[in-house]
Amino acid sequence: MADSPFLLACRGLPAPRPPVWFMRQAGRSLPEYRATKGTANILAAVARPDLAAELTLQPVRRYGVDAAILYSDIVVPVHAAGFGVEIVAGVGPVVERPFRTAADLDRLPPFDADAQAPYVAETVRLLVKELGPVPLIGLAGGPFTVASYLVEGGPSRSYEHMRRLMWAEPELFAALLDRLADYGLASLRAQVSAGAAAVQVFDSWAGALATEDYEAHVLPSLRRMLAGLADLGIPRIVSGVGTAELLGLFVDAGADVVSVDATITLTEARRRTGGRVALQGNLDPWVVALAPWPVVDQRARAVLASNGGHPAHVFNLGHGVRPETDPDVLARIVDLVHDGR
């Protein structure tokens, strides 16, 4: 498996073909996903290893992508720990009693992944048997993004409570993020122990903050989380939306691979990261979902051209596959990346 194109590219080593996978490749854009999952709640589906494994495998079978990503959710650890987080269909994660004061830290005792969410490692074990040479990527939420649900009480566009807490009580904010970094770390270590070959930290909403706030208030917890994985020797990918200004900080925090959104070219991303890490990305998911094929083709080739044949590149979208995406378009992109046709 160390010879897999994905793992080679993550390490900046030449691979027999350029690797490609898609964030949210397992999900609503696939008819087989909709048929298999039905109306099951996401957290209920995650807790069923047979079902979660099947949903993980579907896009690997269909597309022949170079990596699988565990079917899971970033709120799984806090849900499993009993913080009172549910995922409401059409809304997202919703928290019964939001985190607002220091007393709420007591509601986040140390997380024991194997005892509190054993189904995650079980799914990973099922998958590594099935996947053979295809690496499985484990996942966790970034501390800022998980905290945003806990503090806001649900999805937010403004992150108003988060900002107030961050500026008015920076020590409590830091304590919360450190606690959540430990949750993510415990979950990721369990996933790697069970056989995950790489991990991705989704700090999806990190781009909502000014760079100096991210650096001062969030980066220490991300660094803590990534440092806690260092001894495992697996590639640590960090991703987010609107994070083009944060790429250098992700590298400083210990990322081995940074996911690049569609706002900048890979050339520029390589400049911002000082060429110190591998890049993942960065085809615009809106192009894939909405544009005619000739535009998709031209833009996919532009991503490859911007990379300029650099080995440290994993082809992907700038962020997740849109639900309205035609799977046949993704299949054509895989062929284009693999065969240059």
Q: Which residues bind a second copy (CB under 8 A)?
A: 158, 160, 163-164, 167-168, 207, 210-213, 242, 244-245, 262-265, 284, 286-287, 290-292, 295, 299, 302, 318
Nearer to a second copy, 41 or 211 (CB): 211
Question: Shortest distance, CB of residue 262 to a second copy, whole angstroms?
Answer: 4
Nearer to a second copy, 2 or 295 (CB): 295
Six-digit token pair at 78? 């806090």
Decide: 52 and 123 in contact? Cβ < 8 Å: yes
Question: Shortest distance, CB of residue 264 to a second copy, whole angstroms?
Answer: 6
Nearer to a second copy, 98 or 242 (CB): 242
- Taking phi over 0 as left and psi of -120 to 50 as alpha, with beta for the rest, 244 belongs to alpha
Could you tell me the CA-to-CA distances from 76 to 22, 39, 42, 44, 179 in Å, in that order?
A: 21, 18, 10, 10, 15
Nearer to a second copy, 269 or 277 (CB): 269
Q: Please give the backbone phi and psi of residue 282, each rounded to the nearest 5 degrees, phi first.
A: -140, 45
- What lies within 8 Å, CB to CB, of 265 at 6+ separation is 282, 306
Nearer to a second copy, 11 or 163 (CB): 163
Nearer to a second copy, 36 or 265 (CB): 265
Q: Which residue has the tokens 């998911």?
A: 285
Question: Shortest distance, CB of residue 75 to a second copy, whole angstroms?
Answer: 22
Alpha carbons 3 and 6: distance in angstroms, whole number: 8
Alpha carbons 89 and 77: distance in angstroms, whole number: 19
Question: Shortest distance, CB of residue 330 to a second copy, whole angstroms?
Answer: 17
306-311 LR contacts (CB < 8 Å, sep 24+): 306/265, 306/266, 306/267, 307/266, 307/279, 308/267, 310/266, 310/270, 310/279, 311/8, 311/9, 311/12, 311/13, 311/14, 311/15
Decide: 260 and 279 in contact? Cβ < 8 Å: yes
Question: Shortest distance, CB of residue 109 to a second copy, whole angstroms?
Answer: 30
Question: Shortest distance, CB of residue 231 to a second copy, whole angstroms?
Answer: 34
Nearer to a second copy, 8 or 206 (CB): 206
Question: Shortest distance, CB of residue 221 to a second copy, whole angstroms?
Answer: 19
The amino acid at 160? E
Alpha carbons 295 and 286: distance in angstroms, whole number: 11
